[in-house]
Amino acid sequence: MILKSLQHRIVVVFVGLLALVMALLLTLVTRSNERIVAGEMKRELAAGTHVFKRLMEQSQRQLETAATVLAADFAFREAIATQDQPTMRSVIRNHGLRISAQVMMVISPAGLLIADTQREAAPPGSFPFPDLVAAAEAAGKGTGFKQMADGRLYQIVLVPILAPKLIAWVAMGFQVDDRWARELATTTGLAVSVVRRHGPQADLLASSFDDSRRVALPEALMGLTGDAVQVLSLGAEHYQSVQMPLDQDIAVVLQGSVEQAQAPFHSLQETLLTVVLGGIVVFAFGSIMLARRIVRPVNDLSAAARRIEAGDYTQPVPSLPADEIGRLAVSFDHMRERIASREEKILRLAYIDTLTGLPNRTRFLEIFSQVPAGSSGAVAVLDIDRFALINNALGHPVGDRLLSEIGLRLKQIIPRPNRVARLWGDEFAFLLDGANKAAVTAFAESILAKLRDPITLDGQRLDVGGSLGIALYPQDGRDVTTLLRRAELAMVAAKRRHSGFAFAVDTGSGPAHEQLSLIGEMREAMARQEFVIYYQPKLDLASGKITGAEALLRWQHPTRGLIPPLRFIPFAEQTGFICEITPWLLECAIDQTARWHREGLAIVPSVNLSALDLINPGLVAHIGGLLEQHKLPAGKLCLEITESALMDDPELALAHLSELSALGLKLSIDDYGAGQASLAYLKTLPVNELKIDQTFVTAVADSPKNAAIVRSTIMLSHALGLTVVAEGAETPADLSWLGINGCDVAQGYGIARPMPTDELAGWIAGFDARADGVPATIDFARAGKKRNDRTAVRSNA
């Protein structure tokens, strides 16, 4: 754990190694010291023992010599020869003093004590140490250590008194006491003790020891046997001890103190230990300082790296001393600068739309992800009306500049950064966090107003507009994808309705999960024949006859009932499923038309084609095949195409349209006026019919502006050779206005609502009958209802 830090590791390793080496050193020194001490002690003891022996020999020789010289003294011999007790005692006392003998005795050649300094009266009896006499008889003199009757120990020298023949022995005793032992101890360097042995027991007779050790000595000596060197404990001290016999049961014990021998080494070891510990402390301190010096810049670098990791590129890496780490820091700082600039660039590329300088879709998604959960607000999607047309007509550079200009305007309106983004093409998104529906409405109006200002590019004035779709969160969804999709759908709806803006909640698309389930169910619905076709009649205003009907798709859901087209058609278009629905629709319509024709009902039905259908390469052949199969002349089928459907792939669309036209099919431009198409453009298309958008037609009789537009459109269309169909004719006034103004065909609630297929024939028969009696007074009672349904009809395109 502790080793996770480099600093600690350095310190631990350095100090640990030093401590190890020092411990090894100390162990070696201690071992060597112990060996030296042991050897030294052995040597000291051996040397001391040797000295002791020599001293003993020397002293013995000296005593013998002294005794011999004394015994040779003529007067002494003469006095002894007198055999007079007082004289003898006197002379031995006198001569004893001469050689410092404490005890003097005269012994007859027969071994009888004849004079003794210790006793006044000559003691009867024999000399107590016959072994000395025996030794003297053999060697001329005898020496030994003997304990006298007074309990004291004496070194006794026995020499003959010769005149010149042996006339007596003289024994001289030199007391062996503590003083004697201490003198020898001083000379030998060993402790000297003299004991009398009886078995393992030992009586201490003399010793150089002080009282405390003297007390412990006899017991310790119990363990000392033979002449081997042994270590004895005296109290706390230890002694290397050796025993030497002095005489029969008298022995001397020589001892060297182990502690004393160790003392200098102990003090050396203590000094060494102090030095080592001090060294380790100094080394540890030094290591810590060094490690700090190494680690601090590393830590600084590490902190800088963490800042960079967290995305903070502003703080420069601290400048460090110009060593290796310092150079690393410099490189590191350079790296920081480069990364910062690169990241900025990448961010720009990744998050900024280069054309407008606005955040892009990715950035928008990110920004939304930062919206706190549980908060409310809105996501709005803006699509520029007629942008594809401008792009096509004026070229991409102009389109790009237009988008750029729009971006600028949007930025002006929304000063908060990152609240507007360009999603793609001409689609922009807004994040209105915290806004309620009213605020969003106001916002939408301000945006649309701002867009309505004309934009001049290269002296060319461009009128642009936009449609806004708004999804509110959390009501419409919680994740940005759902919200964007729903806002887009709402935008499409707004565009269809030409209402400027629409809320997702109002455009009928249910919650996301319902949509998904509908998408899944569409395929099954096809198989189960849940899709049905409704027809809305088209009235030929000149003849007052029903000449056509628009085929409209309905979904009869088993559980949800009749589902309006807006709830599923957009998804069918998005998922491409529309490419399966349209052929089915075409087949049904063609089959039904052929049937009607056989029954004598000569009407021309219209079928809506989507953008996807229009670029479907098999479309033309399919329609051709169906017509042939049902023996229906091509002129008896009309195909309705919205302007925007043409715009996805104008060239391919134009090619297909030309083929269809060549087959003889009638082609109609749907929702004319809601889109960007101009008449000049439409003129180039092989179409026969123009359907004026209901926004212009509804209440045309009451709106002079609408009336002017419709009237001029009719005139222009006629001038171009096109039939004009007015959608959304809801009242008899509208119908009569249209009739008066030369419109060819009218469609709307003012004539009839869409109706199931099998009702159409009956309804036409009824209509004809009514028309015969009361022309132009059609049943308009139902007119003006359910405009939504009409919207649904258009959405089929």
Helix (H) or strand (E) holding 207: strand 201-207
Residues 81-100, interacting with another protein (CB under 8 A): 81
Q: CA-CA distance, 483 to 474, in Å (whole number)? A: 9
**CB nearer to another protein: pick between 78 and 580:** 78
Which tokens in the block code for residue 558? 């088993």
Binding part of the chain for another protein, among 163-171, 309-317, 327-335, 602-610 by CB under 8 A, reads 163-171
Q: Which of 18, 112, 167, 663 binds another protein (CB under 8 A)?
A: 167
Question: Least distance in Å: CB of 236 to another protein?
Answer: 55
**CB nearer to another protein: pick between 77 and 666:** 77
Please name which of 513, 514, 527 lies closest in space to residue 559, comparing C-alpha atoms: 514
- Exposed/middle/buried for 51, CB within 10 Å: 0-12, 13-18, 19+? middle
Question: Least distance in Å: CB of 68 to another protein?
Answer: 10
Q: Which of 74, 412, 684, 721 binds another protein (CB under 8 A)?
A: 74
Q: What are the φ/ψ torsions at residue 585 (nearest 5 degrees)?
A: -60, -45
**CB nearer to another protein: pick between 23 and 75:** 75
Question: Least distance in Å: CB of 184 to another protein?
Answer: 31
Please name which of 763, 744, 797, 754 lies closest in space to residue 607, comparing C-alpha atoms: 797
**CB nearer to another protein: pick between 71 and 620:** 71
Q: CA-CA distance, 29 to 24, in Å (whole number)? A: 8
Binding residue count for another protein, defined by CB under 8 A: 10
Binding part of the chain for another protein, among 77-85, 198-206, 371-379, 548-556 by CB under 8 A, reads 77-85
**Interface characters, 18-57, with another protein (x: CB under 8 A):** ----------------------------------------
Which residues lie closer than 8 Å to 65 by C-beta, 6 or more apart? Answer: none
Q: Per the omega criterion (within 30 degrees of 0), is the bond before 218 cis?
A: no
**CB nearer to another protein: pick between 84 and 759:** 84
Terminal Cα distance for the chain, rounded: 73
Question: Least distance in Å: CB of 122 to another protein?
Answer: 19
Q: Which of 4, 165, 198, 461 binds another protein (CB under 8 A)?
A: 165
Please name which of 350, 502, 353 lies closest in space to residue 423, comparing C-alpha atoms: 353
Q: Per the omega criterion (within 30 degrees of 0), is the bond before 164 cis?
A: yes
**CB nearer to another protein: pick between 114 and 722:** 114
Q: Does 78 bind another protein (CB under 8 A)?
A: yes
Question: Least distance in Å: CB of 77 to another protein?
Answer: 7
Q: CA-CA distance, 679 to 745, in Å (whole number)? A: 19
Q: CA-CA distance, 486 to 469, in Å (whole number)? A: 8
Q: Are strands 745-747 and 723-727 parallel, antiparallel or unpaired?
A: parallel
Q: CA-CA distance, 504 to 485, in Å (whole number)? A: 9
Q: Which of 12, 26, 51, 72 binds another protein (CB under 8 A)?
A: 72
Q: Give a three-class secondary structure readout of 624-680.
A: HHHHHHCCCCHHHCEEEEEHHHHHCCHHHHHHHHHHHHHHCCEEEEEEECCCCCCHH
Binding part of the chain for another protein, among 75-83, 191-199, 522-530, 745-753 by CB under 8 A, reads 75-83
Q: CA-CA distance, 534 to 588, in Å (whole number)? A: 11
Question: Least distance in Å: CB of 185 to another protein?
Answer: 37
The CB-side HSE value for 396 (13 A sphere, CA atoms) comes to: 2
Which tokens in the block code for residue 759? 């009702």
CA dihedral 745, 747, 750, 754 (to 10 degrees): 150
Binding part of the chain for another protein, among 158-166, 483-491, 576-584, 638-646 by CB under 8 A, reads 158-166
Q: Does 634 bind another protein (CB under 8 A)?
A: no
Question: Least distance in Å: CB of 221 to another protein?
Answer: 43
Residue type present at position 739: G
Binding part of the chain for another protein, among 76-84, 228-236, 555-563, 630-638 by CB under 8 A, reads 76-84
Q: What is 103-126 written as a DSSP string?
A: EEEEE-TTSBEEEETT-SSPPPSB
Please name which of 411, 452, 408 lies closest in space to residue 430, comparing C-alpha atoms: 411
Binding part of the chain for another protein, among 164-172, 566-574, 594-602, 634-642 by CB under 8 A, reads 164-172
**CB nearer to another protein: pick between 162 and 707:** 162
**CB nearer to another protein: pick between 83 and 392:** 83
Question: Least distance in Å: CB of 69 to another protein?
Answer: 11
Q: Which of 162, 288, 290, 519 binds another protein (CB under 8 A)?
A: 162
Question: Least distance in Å: CB of 162 to another protein?
Answer: 7
Q: Which of 135, 163, 305, 339 binds another protein (CB under 8 A)?
A: 163
**CB nearer to another protein: pick between 72 and 733:** 72
The CB-side HSE value for 130 (13 A sphere, CA atoms) comes to: 5
Binding part of the chain for another protein, among 162-170, 485-493, 616-624, 685-693 by CB under 8 A, reads 162-170
Q: Does 77 bind another protein (CB under 8 A)?
A: yes
Beta bridge partners of 378: 432, 472
Q: Which of 125, 164, 454, 721 binds another protein (CB under 8 A)?
A: 164
**CB nearer to another protein: pick between 64 and 670:** 64
Q: Does 135 bind another protein (CB under 8 A)?
A: no
Residues that bind another protein (CB under 8 A): 72, 74, 77-78, 81, 162-165, 167
